[in-house]
Structure 1
Amino acid sequence: MAQGANSSLEDAATIGSLLSHVTREDQIQSALSMFDAVRRKRVDQLVRETFAQGEEHHLPDGVLQQQRDERLARSMMPEFGPASEMPWTHPKIQSWVYDYHAYGEAEEAFAKNPF
C-alpha cells in the first residue's frame, strides 16, 4: 500500500498534537501512552494490509496469479464500478487510508481524556 512515508506524517501530526498539550514534565509519559493508544490499531492494520498486498502482487506464475489477474482486470471494467474485488481500489479502503485526519483524532483523544 506504500504508506510508510504517509504513516510517518500521521505519527508526526499525532505526537505534535499531543505534546502541544504537555505543560509539565510528568505529563510526557501520558502523552506517549495516548500516542500509542491512538496510533497502534491503525498502524497494525496498515501493516497487515501492506503485507497482504505485497503477497498478492508477488504471486508466482500459476493458478493464484491468474485468478488475481482476472480480479484485477475486472476491477478496471467500468461496469463493475469502483467497489471492486481488489481491496486497495475499493472506495471504503481508499477513504480509510487517504481521508484519515491524524491531528483531529489526537485532539479528540485528548479532549476525551486530558492528562
Structure 2
Amino acid sequence: MHRCLECPILSFERRSLCERHVFENHSGCGYECTVYHRVFNRPNNHSGRCVGNELLLRKKATRTYTEEEAEEHRSFIRNLHQKIEAMNIIGVPHLNASSYSNITECATKSS
C-alpha cells in the first residue's frame, strides 16, 4: 500500500497509481489540446474530440510553460518519491532506517 502525504486519507495498492495521483493533483501541470485548448490531467485522459490531437505540457494556472516552469516541473518529478509513503497491509507506515534510528534515539533520551 502507498499513501499520498498531501492526501493522507487516500491509499493505493500500486505505487504507480499513487505516483499518477500525485502528479495529476499536486504538480500544477496538465496537458493542453492544441485544437480545443482544453487542459487534461494526463495525456491519455481526454474526451473523444481531442483524440489524435497534439497535447502540450502546461502549467494549469498560467497555461504557459516557460523555462522556469519547466525546471520547476523537472524538480517536482525528481522529488515525487518524497510525496509518497509506503505502508504495510493494515495501513501503518513502514519504518525505514532513518525513522527507526529516530525512534530508538527518542527512546534512549527518555530513559
Normalised TM-score (structure 2): 0.28
Question: Greater relative contact order: 1 or 2 (C-alpha under 8 angstroms, separation 6 or more)?
Answer: 1
Higher helix share: 1
Normalised TM-score (structure 1): 0.28
